[in-house]
Structure 1
Amino acid sequence: MARDVSDSTPIGSKAELIAWIAAGEKPASSFRIGTEHEKFPFYRSDLAPVPYEGRAGAGGIRALLEGMQQRLGWEPIVDAGHIIGLAGPDGGGAISLEPGGQFELSGAPLATLHETEAELQAHLADVKAVAAPHDIGFAALGASPLWTRAQTPVMPKGRYKIMANYMPKVGTMGLDMMFRTCTVQVNLDFGSEADMVRKLRVSLALQPLSTALFASSPFLDGKLNGFQSMRSEIWRDTDNARSGMLAFAFDEGMSYEGYVDWALDVPLYFVKRDDTYHDVAGASFRDLLAGRLPQLPGEKATMSDWANHLSTLFPEVRLKRFLEMRGADAGPADMLTAMPAFWVGLLYDATSLDAAWDLVKGWSAEERQALRDAVPREGLAASIGGRKLIEIAAEVVELSRAGLARRALKNAAGQDETRFLAPLHGILERRRNLAQALEERYRNAWHSKVEPVLTEMAL
């Protein structure tokens, strides 16, 4: 989760909220790729979770952040005296913590997937070097495979305390989402309002396909959970007012204003003033705009309130000043680069984007929702429009490959970006995603034990 924004500019009208999003428009030549991924830290000696302050003989999350600060020279992000993240220079990425200690890299906006790969490799090398003296390893999976919620550490970050208090009031799985899931996301640009709408619709319709391809969470509480993406299933009952498939995005006349209207109706979590998070969970942003928020009488909304509120919305695709693809489980390093490659090939090439829209435009809202509901359990065996998802996936991955080939951006070895799709080609050839492969290892090589998943999936 990115650093909270500080901008005290007062908001005078809804038009300013729309303009804030529209300011993200860029010419295609300036489109960038921002990749975020989360991973679970664990102590290698006994596979225990890593608390903030560590344990006897080994440092914890604080030590990791302090070590990364010393190694990278990045600016510390502090909450009530606790280091809770690091900000890179000139907007060049950040390191942050999710509520249960999940360690996140929010990557810099980069021009090519080759740069994304180099960023990931450098980050993993740095974090492993810092973690090794503390006996800490990292595994990237969609859901925490071993530890109960009670065993999971809690990070000292003000906004998370507010969210943890509110989540059980609006769904049954919100605390599991906060403390026991990891994702990989990519943030992509748009050139105009029409371009945003087209990309939003295509990526919403295909987000369940991404979930199925990248599913990696068949375990929870030390056993099989019956799902391929438990992370995705958890989101189905976390907080439905702020998550889901955004059916309204397919309505005629969809616009920046349409998203703003939806966002205004999603309840607030908090209002941040200086270093204090004020708990206003359940309150209306419209009341804050009007200066009539009961918890903060007379306080009016600022642009930082708006930016921070948008960061607490969790649809399958999120609009800010870019579009965030949010449907994928975290996974091994090759999948952490395959995920942005998949979406770049589809959304940053006009021919592939048009073909993808032709593929999905006939799906109804009911069909899209049914696919979203089926995929966490069924994966690529789910169906829509009378077709198996694995058949559609083969077509869509080919569209992505063709889009990346047309980008024709090569590294020093003369390789283009299509190489990053290799893990997806393997999944389609084997007709089996990572979750299914892990389940097979559980039943055979691991003799019905879940513990080996942490060591075998260590980054």
Structure 2
Amino acid sequence: MARDQIDMTPLQSRDELVAWFEAGIKPPSEFRIGTEHEKTPFTLEGRQPVPYEGARGIGALLEGMKLLLGWEPIMERGNIIGLYDVTGGGAISLEPGGQFELSGAPLENVHQTQSELMAHLAQVREIATPLGIGFLGLGMTPSWSRSQIPVMPKGRYKIMTNYMPKVGQYGIDMMYRTCTVQTNLDFSSEADMVKKLRVSLALQPVATALFANSPFTEGKPNGFLSFRSEIWRDTDNARSGMLPWVFEDGMGFERWVDYALDVPMYFVKRDETYIDVAGSSFRAFFEGRNNSLPGERPTLSDWANHLSTIFPEVRLKRYLEMRGADGVPWGRLPALPAFWVGLLYDNDSLDAAWDLVSHWTAQERQALRDDVPRFGFKARIKDRYLFEIAKECLKLSYAGLRRRGRIDQLGRDESRYLEPLERILESGRTPAEEMLDKFNGPWGGSVEPVYQEYAF
């Protein structure tokens, strides 16, 4: 989650909300790739959650990173809660349970994503290791209970924590126990946005299976391959899911605005204070009818902040965010942006991907999304296993990256970052199944070895 937006111009018309999205349109020559990834901090000794406070806490980690990087601190009520790179545009932020997120800068190719990742890991290690902190690359904390996990000092999380149990059984788990890797990609027109949104929504379960990496809860197999993906099915269905209306005629920025206006709000930020308006609609606020702020109308900042509290499988902001993948160890992270860039940033691959999914119905897309957390590649749509579809997608992505032809110093294109996914498909098993085999075999029924084998 990037920083909250600051722009205090009151909104007058719905057109301004639409214009906010339209401002994201870019020519293909200016398309960029943003990659965000979360990792779970743990104490190297005892493998416990890391508190915010104290000489070896998350706050100290951020202070150390600030000194090392020279980035601007993001403060809230005297606490450092993140860092921002004024020159490059990257940021480091904290998720509710201390999950440490790098929101990468907008980069031109996946080689740069890989370099950014390697630099970030080296920097984090330099500060974290002396503090006795390690990081785990899984989609969900494998051994801790909800009550063990510390709460980070961010006002918005307090409001969300109170609201979540009212709207689903897993919202607290989503906030405090999960990690993801996501990639943010651009569009060149409203029509291009719609096409990319439809293709990526339909194919999000492919990424969920390829990156499925959360089979353990509190030290035991939980019956799923991506429990993180299952959590999203019952977190808050008013703001998540597969958005069937995106595939209907007339889809565009206006349709997203109408959807977002009716998604229940969490908070309004005024100076450093978060005002709890959880459950009320942005539409009522827009019409000056919010009970907590009578007669007041939202600003562009309120709109941007509200849009960041919508959590479908693909999210529209001024770019598209792919949200279906579990967090993974560092060697597999660049594979996610590579996969989507190959599919969406090459027109031939994008057309072919649309041909692959265009005849699926809303019910079929939903059933696939519902089945993938448990069954992974064995989930089916129509008469096909997801495994076959994943293979086809990987081929398309590979071809798209080859045609893009972005070459590194050694003359290699970006398709090399798909190699971990090729290995997964060759084995025929999701990463989670591989992990379960280890649990039932060499690990002897213990999840403790993950803290070595899947650490950053």
TM-score relative to the length of structure 1: 0.99
Question: What CA distance in whole angstroms lies between the structure 2 residues aligned with 1:22 and 1:203?
Answer: 20
Select 1:416's aligned residue among 402, 413, 433: 413
Question: What CA distance in whole angstroms lies between the structure 1 residues aligned with 2:308 and 2:186?
Answer: 16
- Measured on the aligned residues, the alpha-carbon RMSD in Å equals 0.7
Aligned pairs (5 A) from 1:34-45: 34-45=34-45
Q: Does 1:379 align with 2:379?
A: no
Runs of 4+ in 1 over 2 A off after TM superposition: none
Question: What CA distance in whole angstroms lies between the structure 2 residues aligned with 1:335 and 1:248?
Answer: 33
Instruction: Give the aligned partner of residue 121 of structure 1.
Output: 118
Q: Does 1:217 align with 2:214?
A: yes
For residue 90 of structure 1, report the CA deviation from its aligned partner: 3.3
AA at the equivalent of 2:26? K
Corresponding residue SS for 1:24: coil
Q: Structure 1: any 5+ residue segments left out of the alignment?
A: none
Corresponding residue SS for 2:324: strand
Question: What CA distance in whole angstroms lies between the structure 1 residues aligned with 2:9 and 2:408?
Answer: 42
Instruction: Give the aligned partner of residue 87 of structure 1.
Output: 84
Instruction: Give the aligned partner of residue 20 of structure 1.
Output: 20
Q: Deviations over 1:423-450 (max 9, x none)?
A: 0100110001210111010011100001
Q: Deviations over 1:96-136 (max 9, x none)?
A: 00000000000000001000000000000000110011111
The question of whether the paired residues in 2 share the 8 Å contact of 1:293 and 1:299 is answered with: yes
AA at the equivalent of 1:256? F
Question: What CA distance in whole angstroms lies between the structure 1 residues aligned with 2:268 and 2:284?
Answer: 12
The question of whether the paired residues in 2 share the 8 Å contact of 1:37 and 1:185 is answered with: yes
For residue 9 of structure 1, report the CA deviation from its aligned partner: 1.3
Q: Deviations over 1:227-265 (max 9, x none)?
A: 000100000000000000000000011111111100000
Instruction: Give the aligned partner of residue 53 of structure 2.
Output: 53
Corresponding residue SS for 2:323: strand
Aligned pairs (5 A) from 1:35-434: 35-54=35-54, 59-90=56-87, 92-434=89-431
Aligned residues: 456
Corresponding residue SS for 2:325: strand
Question: What CA distance in whole angstroms lies between the structure 1 residues aligned with 2:379 and 2:140?
Answer: 21
For residue 332 of structure 1, report the CA deviation from its aligned partner: 1.2
Corresponding residue SS for 2:25: coil
The question of whether the paired residues in 2 share the 8 Å contact of 1:334 and 1:420 is answered with: no
Question: What CA distance in whole angstroms lies between the structure 2 residues aligned with 1:90 and 1:248?
Answer: 39
Q: Deviations over 1:245-302 (max 9, x none)?
A: 0000000111111111000000110000111110000111112111121011122110
AA at the equivalent of 2:109? T
Question: What CA distance in whole angstroms lies between the structure 1 residues aligned with 2:430 and 2:57?
Answer: 33
Instruction: Give the aligned partner of residue 10 of structure 1.
Output: 10
The question of whether the paired residues in 2 share the 8 Å contact of 1:167 and 1:174 is answered with: yes
Q: Deviations over 1:320-355 (max 9, x none)?
A: 000000000010112110000000000000000000
Instruction: Give the aligned partner of residue 30 of structure 2.
Output: 30
For residue 91 of structure 1, report the CA deviation from its aligned partner: 5.3
AA at the equivalent of 2:404? R
Question: What CA distance in whole angstroms lies between the structure 1 residues aligned with 2:356 and 2:289?
Answer: 46
Stretch moving more, 196-205 or 330-339 = 330-339
Question: What CA distance in whole angstroms lies between the structure 2 residues aligned with 1:454 and 1:365?
Answer: 40
Question: What CA distance in whole angstroms lies between the structure 2 residues aligned with 1:428 and 1:416?
Answer: 21
Q: Deviations over 1:400-442 (max 9, x none)?
A: 0000000000001111000000001001100012101110100
* % identical aligned pairs: 65
Question: What CA distance in whole angstroms lies between the structure 2 residues aligned with 1:103 and 1:174?
Answer: 19
Question: What CA distance in whole angstroms lies between the structure 1 residues aligned with 2:382 and 2:414?
Answer: 31
For residue 455 of structure 1, report the CA deviation from its aligned partner: 1.6
The question of whether the paired residues in 2 share the 8 Å contact of 1:349 and 1:403 is answered with: yes
For residue 305 of structure 1, report the CA deviation from its aligned partner: 0.4
Corresponding residue SS for 1:397: helix
AA at the equivalent of 2:29? S
Question: What CA distance in whole angstroms lies between the structure 2 residues aligned with 1:455 and 1:424?
Answer: 22
Stretch moving more, 286-295 or 171-180 = 286-295
